[in-house]
Structure formats: C-alpha cells, structure tokens
A = this chain, B = another copy of it.
Amino acid sequence: MLIRPKAGILDPQGEAVQRALPALGFDGVRDVHVGRLIELDVDDPGQLEAMCEKLLANPLIEDYEVVVQDATTE
C-alpha cells in the first residue's frame, strides 16, 4: 500500500527534500511529498484496509491507497 501525508498536513520530509534538491543543482522541483510504501503478501486481501486503519497508517494525518497485485500474475 501507498501511504501519503494528507493534504494540508505538515510534511517535514518533503520540505527537506524540496530544499535540498536545488542545493544539489536540481531545479524546477515542486510539490515534494514523502510517504511510505508497504509491500506484503497476505492470504486475505480483504484485510488490507483494516491493517492500514489499525497499524500501518495514521488515518488522522495520512491517506492510504491499497494496491492489490495478484501473485499469480507477477
């Protein structure tokens, strides 16, 4: 799943990256956001949303997106 800071919530990692890139010579960079990528194999994909709500994300300050990839198609 992909976990992102909610719009309007402070994103200090994103701000740090946005400030650091021009200092390294990378210009034209805007709207940097840093979130988390969590990958796992699970028997029951129906549990993924509950996992995000209860452990993997903080629903107060983060949005999550569940991306299901069927193992048989990989």
Please determine whether A41 and B31 come into contact, CB atoms closer than 8 angstroms: yes
Q: A42 an interface residue at 8 Å Cβ cutoff?
A: yes
Q: A20 an interface residue at 8 Å Cβ cutoff?
A: yes
How many residues of chain A have a CB within 8 Å of chain B?
33
In chain A, positions 2-35 with a C-beta closer than 8 Å to chain B are 2-4, 17-18, 20-21, 24, 26-35
Please determine whether B42 and A29 come into contact, CB atoms closer than 8 angstroms: yes
Number of copies of this protein chain within its complex: 2
Q: A60 an interface residue at 8 Å Cβ cutoff?
A: no
The chain B residue sitting closest to A2, CB to CB, is B37
Give the B-binding residues of A (Cβ under 8 A): 2-4, 17-18, 20-21, 24, 26-44, 47, 50-51, 54-56
